[in-house]
Amino acid sequence: VLNQNALMAATEVIVPTTVEPFSVRGLEKLIAQIARVKGSTSVVRAIIPTMVDPRMKQSIELLAHLNRTYGRLVMPPVRVNVRLSEAAAVGKTIYEHDPRSRGALDYAQIVELLSKEWHFQPARPAPPVPAQARPAGPAGRGEPIVTGGGEVQTNTCPNCGHSLQRATVAGYRITYCANCRYRRQELINGGG
């Protein structure tokens, strides 16, 4: 009943599925249920194959079956990656836990594809802060950065003082320290 109510309310559906025989069979049943509830399957916008192990013949065959059956709806696969399990275990997103992992890159690729397909606009950069309004970084090191939330970040790690690295991945602005593994992420919203 909960599934049916959720499907009645849904205008778009993204379906993640592990690439395992019972999961693929469950996907087929879900697609049939969507067709019954909505009258068509046009609300299904993407199918995301997860836990794909390219070393396993079964994984490759099931992924090929998904591509043959659902065509363009099937997104690039998310490969098996222990960092994804670790992130869930510690209650963090993969971009907080390990933004450079294979799992993070796979999900980032999917987000980029869906963003293009759905015409999401990139976040507008924060307006520049006049030099006299910028506070100095800790002990005068580094030029500060103003984030989308109006917070000030410096180029140095607050934990160890080493230089911070920055990346934008899957709609997040990530700041991290390669020395002490400090991580901070900020969602980039499309509204500015």
- Domains in the chain, please, with CATH? 2-117 (3.40.50.300), 131-187 (no CATH)
Residue 74 bridge partners (DSSP): 47
Summarised one tens digit per residue, pLDDT across range 16-50 is: 999 999 999 999 999 999 999 999 999 999 999 99
* The pair of three-digit structure tokens given for residue 169, joined into one six-digit string: 């991945």
Mean pLDDT of the chain: 81
- Bridge partners (DSSP) of residue 13 are 44
Higher pLDDT, 23 or 146: 23
Supply the pLDDT for residue 192: 41
The reply to whether the predicted model has a pTM over 0.75 is no
Q: What stretch of H or E contains 169?
A: strand 165-169
Question: For 147-164, what is the mean pLDDT?
Answer: 66
What's the angle, vertex CA 142, arms to CA 104 and CA 105, rounded to 5?
10
Amino acid at 83: R
Residue range 71-128, pLDDT digits in tens: 999 999 999 999 999 999 999 999 889 988 999 999 999 988 988 888 877 666 655 6
149-175 mean pLDDT? 71
